[in-house]
Amino acid sequence: MLYDDLDQRPGAKFATADLIGIPWQILVGPKGLAENKIEIKKRADGSRELMTEADAAKRLAG
């Protein structure tokens, strides 16, 4: 797991993750948190899904 805690804008962080080949992005924001959901994005095809934290953990583990 990699956690980017640098003081940069989100776009710069996403670009860095793409350059080093991180296969998934986990996006957590206020709108999703209000629904108890997080968004995961598959880097290979750009598909995105909004799901619970537990479902996201299962998807990323398997």
CATH of the domain at 26: 3.40.50.800
What average pLDDT does the chain have? Answer: 89
0.95 cut: is pTM over it?
no
Quick check: is 36 in a domain? yes
Q: What is the number of structural domains in the chain?
A: 1
CB atoms within 10 A of CB 21: 7
The parts of the chain modelled with pLDDT lower than 50 are none
Domain range spanning residue 56?
10-61
Which of these, 54, 24, 55, 50, lies nearest to 37 by C-alpha position? Answer: 50
pLDDT, tens digit, 9 for 90 and up, residues 34-51: 999 999 999 899 999 999
47, 61 Cβ separation under 8 angstroms? no
